Amino acid sequence: MAYLRRHIDERLERVMKVHPACLVEGIRGVGKTSSAQQIAAATLRMDHPPTAEKVAGDPEAVCASLPTPVLVDEWQRRPEVWDAVRRMIDSDRSPGRFILSGSSRAAVTADVHAGAGRIMPLRLRPMTLCERRGEEPAVSLGDIAEHGIEAVRGARSPLSSSEQTAPTVESGLPGYLGMAQLDHHEALRAYLDLAVARDLAEVTSAGRNVAKLRSYLRAYGAVVGTNADHANIHHAAGVAKATGETYHDLLSRLGIIEELGGWSNNRLKRLTRRPKRHLVDPALAAADHYESAETLSVRRDREGELFESVVVTQIRAAADAQGLGWRFSHLRSAGGDHEIDLVADLPTGDVVAIEVKLAESVSRGDARHLSTLRDRLGDAFRAGLVVHPGTVAHRIEDRIAAVPLAVLV
């Protein structure tokens, strides 16, 4: 399959012109190796036993014999390679020497140094709508940070409403693009089975009940896009509280769970800190529950939750790829009467807030929570976006616009 350029590629090229090494991290199958190989001059695969043995025996000599940048793929299988790269960087801090790909979460239990100041981490998430077509977004998130809603007004979506909601059931993992839906979902369920049975060994040495962990993941997938209480997930999975908390930690370290914490601000009081539940790719949850576009069309609440998760995960992916430094959370008042699906704190101190609506057209009423936040924050409120599967971006009111998802990601 021809390589589809990722938003992160440009940033990776830029980082390697400045830093001696970069870590490309993300879940298995997200495309780390393919992206890194676009600029790597040589590759060392740690999942190839003869290569791994050679590198582990004398990593400095092996790496020194190769042209740079050297890609060390699946580095976490031989954690000692991390320290070897660090030592080589200490001797020569020239930019563009090494790319490591794998999961940084493996370093939690590995005997490695943090790599701070030496190895620049970049996270690669499942493909956004534009990446799946090999295109750039009509409007970058960075433009919105700089120009507010004026950057997006009048932009038209290149996709229909159904094409914009398709990621609720179609994964952004590159190897699964273009499959028929039955084959696609069968492959995604197998992916989850393998993740909890095989990849778990990379983040814990303790034995786990794979069947129960799998049940926990399925119960978690049933509540993506909500702030469901963890006790309810434990109950649905049939596990005790302590067991469920352990499973949650393990799945987070694998990168499958990516929650959204509660937002806090001294101008607003009584905000809940309970996180919104999200998987790194919402289509994993749909596949695990045998949900198709057809079945979701008569379950609008569930489709809305999955679509909210799509917007959250794809906005995060685009912001990370652009290196914007946005910090994401969600806003919910303690009484539940005020809620915003995604709040981005910008490095400037400004805020971009996003509401998600599963509707082809939106009205001023759909922006009421954004309006309240704008009035509370004043000048710190940079822009409010009602993201939906619509046709054209347009102003709703001061600093608030309706924006089709496909315009942004």
**Same domain for 279 and 186:** yes
Give CA–CA dist 302/297, Å, rounded.
9
pLDDT score recorded for residue 232: 96
pLDDT score recorded for residue 258: 94
pLDDT score recorded for residue 177: 95
pLDDT score recorded for residue 338: 86
**Same domain for 298 and 237:** yes
Do residues 7 and 317 lie in contact, with contact meaning Cβ atoms separated by under 8 Å?
Answer: yes
What's the number of domains the chain is made of?
2
Q: Which of 78, 93, 123 is the last residue of a domain?
A: 123
Is the peptide bond prior to 69 cis by the omega test (within 30 degrees of 0)? yes
212-218 contact pairs (CB < 8 A, 24+): 212/237, 212/238, 212/239, 212/243, 212/247, 213/247, 213/250, 213/251, 215/239, 216/243, 216/244, 216/247, 216/248, 216/251, 217/192, 217/247, 217/251, 217/256, 217/288, 218/288, 218/289
Quote the domain boundaries for residue 272: 129-408
**Same domain for 351 and 281:** yes
pLDDT score recorded for residue 270: 67
**Same domain for 117 and 146:** no
Measured in whole angstroms, the distance separating CA 50 from the mean position of its chain's CA atoms is: 33
**Same domain for 314 and 276:** yes
Residues 6 or more apart in contact with residue 258 via CB below 8 angstroms: 252, 278, 279, 280, 313, 316
**Same domain for 159 and 95:** no
CATH of the domain at 83: 3.40.50.300
Q: Encoding tokens for residue 150?
A: 């004026």
* 2 is a domain residue: no
Which whole-number Å values give the CA distances from 48 to 32, 72, 216, 254, in the listed order? 17, 11, 32, 21
* 115 is a domain residue: yes
pLDDT score recorded for residue 188: 98
Q: Residue 404 phi/psi, 5° resolution? A: -65, 140
Give CA–CA dist 357/89, Å, rounded.
48
**Same domain for 154 and 118:** no
Q: Which of 105, 123, 141 is the last residue of a domain?
A: 123
Q: Quickly count: other Cβ atoms within 10 Å of residue 406's Cβ.
A: 26
Q: Encoding tokens for residue 257?
A: 């769970």
| Residue 115 β-bridge partners | none
- Reported as half-sphere exposure (CB side, CA atoms, 13 A), residue 298 has a value of 2
Decide the pairing of beta strands 42-45 and 70-73. parallel
Query: Side chain identity at 70, as an amino acid letter?
Result: V
Sheet strands side by side (includes 381-388): 327-332, 339-345, 351-356, 381-388, 400-404, 394-397
Q: Encoding tokens for residue 402?
A: 């309706």
* 192 is a domain residue: yes
Do residues 194 and 256 lie in contact, with contact meaning Cβ atoms separated by under 8 Å?
Answer: no
Give CA–CA dist 401/404, Å, rounded.
10
* 317 is a domain residue: yes
Give the containing element (helix H, strand E) for 14. Answer: helix 7-16
* 1 is a domain residue: no
* 244 is a domain residue: yes
- How much of the chain is helix, strand and coil, in % rounded to 5? 45, 15, 35
pTM of the predicted protein model: 0.92
| Residue 268 β-bridge partners | 265
* 19 is a domain residue: yes
Q: Which of 123, 143, 158 is the last residue of a domain?
A: 123
Q: Encoding tokens for residue 41?
A: 């001059």
| Cβ-based burial of 37 (10 A; exposed 0-12, middle 13-18, buried ≥19) | middle
- Each of the 409 residues of the chain gets a pLDDT tens digit; together they read 689 999 999 999 999 999 999 999 999 999 999 999 999 999 999 999 999 999 888 888 998 899 999 999 999 888 888 888 999 999 999 999 999 998 745 544 444 445 556 799 999 999 999 999 999 999 999 999 999 999 999 999 999 999 999 999 999 999 999 999 999 999 999 999 998 888 776 666 666 788 999 999 999 999 999 999 999 999 999 999 999 999 999 999 889 999 999 998 766 766 888 899 999 999 999 999 999 999 999 999 999 999 999 999 999 999 999 999 999 999 998 777 789 999 999 999 999 999 999 999 999 999 999 999 999 999 999 999 999 999 999 999 999 999 999 999 9
**Same domain for 140 and 115:** no
**Same domain for 218 and 297:** yes
**Same domain for 236 and 206:** yes
**Same domain for 149 and 97:** no
**Same domain for 223 and 84:** no
* 342 is a domain residue: yes
